[in-house]
Amino acid sequence: MEYLPKNEEEREEIYKFLGIKKFEDLLTSLPQEKILKEPLKIPEGKSEIEVREIVEGLARSNKWDLINFAGGGAYDHFIPSIVNYVISRPEFYTAYTPYQAEVSRGTLQAMFEYQTLICELTGMEVANSSMYEGGSALAEAILMACRIKKKYKILIPANLNPLYKRVVQTYISHVVELKEIPYDKAGKIRYEELEKEIDEKTAGVVLQHPNFFGILEEPEKLQKIKEKTDIISIMVFDPTSLGILKPPGEYNADIAVAEGQSLGLPMGFGGPYLGIFTCREKFVRMMPGRISGETVDVEGKRAFAMILQTREQHIRREKATSNICTNQMLCALAALVYLATLGKKGIKELGEHILYKSHLFYEMLLKEGIKSPFNSPFFKEFIVELPVDSENFVAKMVDKGILAGVPLKKFGFNKNWLLIAVTEKRKKEEMTEYIKSMKEVLK
């Protein structure tokens, strides 16, 4: 109502044009119980200084200085200072998306360099210039597999990150049939059962490696299954693991996606994060998102241009492969600077540090009688089974300044299971403090 002209004659003209007698006639198709009958009870606006005090008060309630052993998709990694320095430059920090290539050369080059390093990291042939985050990247990968095969059944693992699973179900549950494959006593997917579930309706299979439990899967087994069947293989990977584990390109993945938060992005209380998306070159025209390419200008100088965009692209939108029409370029730039700073040697050393420290802490917990329900090789994360409810345990550990892990009860797993992540930042002194606090809490 507030947007209508205050002049009664002008309002009458609008009503006449719309073929109604009063504004409420526009709402007749809505359930009457959902229509607001009186103004919302919203307090009056506050001054800038009052708002600042309220927001700062809320910020102070966040426990941002906890020793962090939680993971489950977002991790407390070290971020070199150069990352924030570069992404804070105004030409990057204020840029949106490169609709006009003639004024976006810097952004286009950053996209191109990001794509190049992601391909080098993953061993895949093509990378786009990023998606929103890992969950939506996986959902788009599933839709892409269905487009390629013109089939609409996808097999997903029961040990897939539950947060990704929720995004996927919200995104595509009315379009694609999702069949869940259980895991075995080792915490790995039942590959024999997976192979039996593949039929003429199946477009592809999703495998997370390392999986949600941190356990290393056996992607070579999926590769053998793929060679015998007509499916698309979709890999979900951890980019920090690729310095020491085989990249998806080496076991012939068709599509490989990941959450890129580990590559130079802070925890951020939920984001913004970065969806990494790669595929084989023969599927490039089915891929969502944008691709920047290298070329030469009329003078023969090196130049960059947008070579593929999902929305066909502002004109034939009904032909689009995806509704995603932008990218997380600032986050992708952070990942680019992070990867360039570490280099190949640094990425390998990062993986080795994480592997060593996570296994060191696991051994320390074993000595205290805290065991895992699974006996399998892992990277960065592992599950332990506590003698108490894991949610209560985590709450009490927070009071001691430690974020002890992710309670898996909230995701439908055993109420005593706790998912613990150990990054390169965790020191032995912090692990010792964890053990000391744990003993006090368990008493």
Angle between helices 428-442 and 390-398 (to 10 degrees): 120
**Cα–Cα distance between 257 and 234 in angstroms, integer?**
8
The pLDDT of 127-134, averaged and rounded, is 95
pLDDT score recorded for residue 3: 59
H-run or E-run covering 419 = strand 417-421
Residue 339's Cβ-count burial label (10 Å; 0-12, 13-18, 19+) is: buried
pLDDT score recorded for residue 101: 59
| Residue-averaged pLDDT of the chain | 92
**Cα–Cα distance between 310 and 25 in angstroms, integer?**
40
pLDDT score recorded for residue 94: 83
Structure tokens at 121: 């990291």
SS3 206: strand
Q: According to DSSP H, which parts of 293-328 are helical?
A: none
Question: pTM to 2 decimals?
Answer: 0.88
Residue 4's Cβ-count burial label (10 Å; 0-12, 13-18, 19+) is: exposed
Greater confidence (44 vs 317) lies with 44
Residue 225 pLDDT class (50, 70, 90 cuts): very high
**Cα–Cα distance between 65 and 433 in angstroms, integer?**
15
pLDDT score recorded for residue 317: 67
Residue 2 has pLDDT above 60, yes or no: no
Q: Domains along the chain?
A: 67-76+343-442 (3.90.1150.10), 81-339 (3.40.640.10)
pLDDT score recorded for residue 42: 87
pLDDT score recorded for residue 13: 86
The pLDDT of 414-434, averaged and rounded, is 98
187-196 burial, b if ≥16 CB within 10 A, otherwise e?
Answer: bbbebeebbe
pLDDT score recorded for residue 438: 98
pLDDT score recorded for residue 100: 61
Residue 272 has pLDDT above 70, yes or no: yes
